[in-house]
Amino acid sequence: MLIIILFYILTIGSFLLYSYFLIDPNITFFNHPIWSWFLERVLQLGYHNRQLSWQIYFVLVFLLFIFNYLFIKNYKKISPIKLALLIAVLLLFSYPFLSHDFLKYMFDAKILTLYHKNPYLTPPVDLSFDRWLRFMQWIEQPFRYGPVFLLIAIVPSFLAWGKFSLSFIFFKITFAIFYLLAVYFLNKMNRRWAVIFATNPLILIDGLINSHNDIIAVSLLIIGLYLLFKKKILSRVFLFLSVGIKYLTLPSLFLSSNKKSVINKFIFVSFIILPFSLLNKQVGDFFMAEIHTWYFIVLLGFLPFYEEIITRLNIFFFGLLMCYYPFIRLGNWISFNNLSVKHLIILSFSIINLLFFLVVPKWRTALLDFIKLK
């Protein structure tokens, strides 16, 4: 097991380095010759050798799924807390290379803590003098998340005093803490669930590396479920706080401690269907709304209910991470064709995963057990 963990550390460390292949060239963490030398080389690979960049990404993601399988198979030999702590520390300095949302979180909190303005009413573009705008996206949009997330975000922002590097690391620490909390409370319920969550590639890439606030929402959801099974009144408080991070988790307020509840099944299915429903939104002359991969992070919060189903969704999860192909290999999401490729990848892997549920006997049994309305 030690050899597996050592190779896993190497893979995680490689992903840490790879995350800087697509760093925004306008971002400067340090003014040092070594940093400049490193940045010059990784940018050359990430932006000017996209074929190799995609191949490295593919191999690293594939390895993460292999390790996820091995860890689940040997979960009794693993301490989920120690493993999660190792992962969190290694990825603490990773760059959110597949999304600008993390940088937007930092700026929106800065609007409140440094400029003392309401981020719900003040979009970043109104602060055109701020140097962070040179690497920001969606600067016309004000803060669009729940108030609970804003309350959490102002803590690392306040501690950073407007300094980008400090803000970056403090926000990363915040996301890592909630990741560890999720693993901790899952471990209190079931060690296997904790290992599944801690090493799931979607959690690692979109939750820790790209640092989407869905990881915070699902962490609060898991804490709420732990308390729900303990019949604690505070359970609904944490479920409500989860909704206050991202409104997408609103149906979780109606979860029941009865693991066979029909309501729970409908809520779980709704979290699969809702992201796909975005495709019906028309922008301009064609359909440009996206299926965001990180919206599916919430599914891992249902491990205490549907472990058998979730562990068999790895084909789908792999497809979610493969859908970054147009950005990594082709350079952007902007064109309609590239966005179509992204959605085609997701839909293809969704269909393949569904076929496995229908064809493989053990998978079919798990699916039939799930759809029984008891």
In a domain, 155, yes or no: no
Residue 306: give the domain boundaries.
Answer: 262-374
Q: Given this model, what pLDDT does residue 286 score? A: 40
In a domain, 314, yes or no: yes
Q: Given this model, what pLDDT does residue 373 score? A: 55
Q: Given this model, what pLDDT does residue 43 score? A: 86
In terms of Cα–Cα distance, which of 191, 208, 179, 178 is closest to 304? 191
Write out the chain's pLDDT in tens, 374 residues. 788 899 999 999 999 999 999 988 888 787 778 878 888 888 888 888 999 999 999 999 999 999 999 999 999 999 999 999 999 999 999 999 998 899 999 999 999 999 999 999 999 999 988 889 988 888 899 999 999 999 999 999 999 998 999 999 999 999 999 999 999 999 999 999 999 999 999 999 999 999 999 999 999 999 999 999 988 889 999 999 999 998 888 899 999 988 888 999 999 999 998 887 766 554 443 445 678 899 999 999 999 999 999 999 999 999 999 999 998 988 776 666 788 888 899 999 999 999 999 999 999 998 988 887 54
In a domain, 338, yes or no: yes
In a domain, 199, yes or no: no
Q: Which two tokens stand for residue 57?
A: 């990404």
CA dist 206 and 101 (Å) reads 11
Q: What is the DSSP code (8-state) at residue 247? A: G
Number of domains in the chain: 1
Q: Given this model, what pLDDT does residue 333 score? A: 65
- For residue 239, what are the contacts with CB-CB under 8 A and spacing of at least 6? 220, 221, 224, 228, 252, 253, 255
**Which residue is it, tokens 């709704």?**
270
- In order, the DSSP letters of 47-101 are HH-HHHHHHHHHHHHHHHHHHHHHHHHTGGG--HHHHHHHHHHHTTT---TT-SH
In a domain, 132, yes or no: no
Q: Given this model, what pLDDT does residue 285 score? A: 38
Cβ–Cβ under 8 Å, residues 318 and 349 = yes
Q: Given this model, what pLDDT does residue 279 score? A: 61
**Which residue is it, tokens 């804003």?**
150
Q: Given this model, what pLDDT does residue 165 score? A: 93
Cβ–Cβ under 8 Å, residues 305 and 281 = no
In a domain, 365, yes or no: yes
In a domain, 349, yes or no: yes
Identify the helix (H) or strand (E) that includes residue 349: helix 336-359
Residue type, 235: S
Q: Given this model, what pLDDT does residue 178 score? A: 98
pTM of the predicted structure, to 2 decimals = 0.94
Burial (Cβ within 10 Å: 0-12, 13-18, ≥19) of residue 133? middle
In a domain, 374, yes or no: yes
CA dist 294 and 278 (Å) reads 14
